[in-house]
Structure formats: C-alpha cells, structure tokens
Amino acid sequence: MARTKNIILLALLIRLSVIPFLYHPDLKTQYFHTQFLSKGVTNIYKYVYDNKPSLPYKDTFNYTPVVYYLQGIWFPVAKFLSPPNLTSWLNNWGPNQNNYANLPWFILTLKIPYLVFDIGLGLYLLKRYKKNIAYLWLFNPITIYALYFHANYDIIPATLCFISIDLFLNTKKARLAGILFSLAVGIKLFPLLFLAIFIKQDKNKIINFSIASVSTLVLLFLFSNLFSPGWLLALTSSGLIQKIFELKFNNIPIFPVLWIITTIFFILKKQFKPYDYLSLTGLLFLSTITYHGQWIVWFLPFFLFTYSSANKYHKFLLIILILSFISRIILYNDVYMTWGHFLPLNTQLLNQSTPFEILSKKTTLSLEVLQNNIKYIQLIFLFIITFFYAKKNNNTN
C-alpha cells in the first residue's frame, strides 16, 4: 500500500510540475463557451448563434451537450480556485490576451478534471493488472504529451471507454459497462470504433450490455434535445467524422476499408485478442488520418497491453511507429503544435517559425505531399509489425 501511494504521489508531482506551463488554445476556447452555463445558458448552440456579433470569440461550440455541462459544472470550481481575473482572461481575445501573470494558475485549475481521470485510470490499472501496465501509463511521456500538451478532455471518455471494455470482457458487470460506454459516446464518438469488441461474448452479457447502453444513450439524447436543440449540427461537423474519410486511394477512403476488414477478421478469428484488435484499430487510425495529438489517448491504454506482451523487437518497432505519429504532428503548420505549447514560459515563442515553415524555406518539396507519403510509409510499417506479431502469437498458441 505504501509503495502504491508513493508511485501515485510521484506521478502527481511529475504532472503538477509541467501542467501549468503547457498550453493549447483549445483549453481557452472550450471554457470560453462553457462559462456561460454558470450564467444560466443551457443551450450554448443557440446562444452563440444569437449573440455572435457581440461575443469576443466568434467560433461555434463544436462539442456535445454532455461536454458543455461537464465543463460548465467545473468552471465555478476552477474560478474559485483561481485568481480573480480568470473570467477576464477567457473573454480577452485581443493582442494582449496572453499577457496574464496568472496564466499558469488558470491552466492548472482548468486541467484538474483531466488530472483526476488520468490518475484515476492509473489507480484502476494498479488494482486490476500487473504493476508494469500501470507504470507504463503513469510514467509514459506520451501520456503526458497527449493529455497535457494539447489540453483537451479526451482522457475522460478514454477512461470511461477503457473501464467499460475491461468490465465487459473480464467481469460480470455488463450493465455497468454499457452505462459507462454510452457516457463515453455521449462525450465523444470515437468509442463507436470499438463496438465489435462486444460481439464475441455470451448472449446474456451482450443483452445486458445492450439494454444498459441503449437506455443510457436514449436518456442522453432526450436530455440533449430538451436542453440543447441544435447540437446534432455541431456533432456532424466534428473533426473526427470528416477526417476518417480524408486519406483516399483511387477515391476510396483508406481507413474505413481497412478498419472494416480488420473488424471482420477479428470477429471470425478466435485467436485475435481483443486488446490487440483495439491496438490495431488505433494504429490504423493514426496511420491514415490527420489527427489531433490528444486523439492518441483514445488508444493508448490498449497499446500498453500489446506493448507489454510483445518481445523486445516488436516493442522497439511499436515505439518507433508511435513516435512517428508525434513527428507528423510537429510537421503541421501550427505554432500551437510546437513552440506555442510553452507560451506560459515565454509569449515570444508564438513569433517563432514552425518546423513546417523552416522546412518549407529549405526544400522545394511539398510538405503536404510529404505528410501523406509518411502516412503510407507508416501504414506499410504497421502491416510488417502486424504480420510478424501475429506470426509470433500463432507460434506460441
């Protein structure tokens, strides 16, 4: 017990030492909108539409009503924990918007819910699995990068989704698994990529899961339509739905086709382990889509299980592949994907050229074409890893 406490304390100290100094503007844009819940605004979509000319930030709220209420409920707590000018910072979109001495404190208080779910998942892994899995989560720099550099709420649905799948596969708590899964979907749609996991189990489990999951989804749908009509338009314009069809070969979207083939293979092949299927889904997704850095969190818990059961050669290849995903993000022409993360330390970093701009000046190659070529290379690399990993598993069965 004392060792577990020390491990969690160390993980907390590492996170608290870096969280206040890592920034992405998504944190501010989300809380700019969700602050209005404390002012009595229940339908943020209509509010933004009606008041756009007078709002300091003009963009729409492109998230689900569940996200609006979750962050809206946390905002008064963050405001209580922060210096008095948090609201001033959220509503300042002028040239001096980053000139707040208390910016690190704002960032820390607004990210506390993410920290709770992050450490919570680590505790869950410590309780349910070998310590090496939990240590991989708690002390993995990619976890820190995906959660806190990009300052998004993806850790919340990722945690709910992982616990849901774990409960369904390894316990008799199918109904609780169904509720948690639907709550995750209510926050973000990505868990729908994992639905095949719930097919290869006994009928009673599937029935109990389905009843609980559908009931929860119906309640969330009714709640959303009652308080926030218009949310479906925001959902259909989300980055995820658009991006899964982005990379094409002969006008055929690559990810949906490969994902369907992989899913059929998983359903038909008994030896295909559930967490390996989920890892492969994640690797296919990241190899074919222009993604946000925080999306790695969706698949990272499953990667850890595949990594822990792989031999040294496959571990090395998997690390190289995942690092290559991060390198692609650095090539985006967006300062907030690189130096801008460290804005709380030095606001002048926003004036530095991005790696994309630097490389553009030194080469005649189209970096957009290069990024697509990297995707194809990653995809080929992934198939090589998958082939040899599957071969190893077949030989050991």
Residue 370 or 273, more confident: 273
Q: What does residue 156 show for φ and ψ, rounded to 5 degrees?
A: -70, -55
86-107: average pLDDT: 94
238-246: average pLDDT: 67
- State pTM to two decimals: 0.90
Extents of the domains making up the chain: 154-228
pLDDT of residue 66: 92
Any long-range contacts for 188-194 (C-beta under 8 Å, 24+ apart)?
188/64, 188/67, 188/154, 188/157, 188/240, 189/235, 189/238, 189/240, 189/241, 190/157, 190/161, 190/240, 190/295, 190/298, 191/157, 191/161, 191/164, 193/259, 193/281, 193/285, 194/161, 194/165, 194/278, 194/281
Which has the minimum average pLDDT: 93-97, 103-107, 362-366, 381-385?
381-385
306-315: average pLDDT: 76
Indicate if the pLDDT at residue 107 is higher than 90.
yes
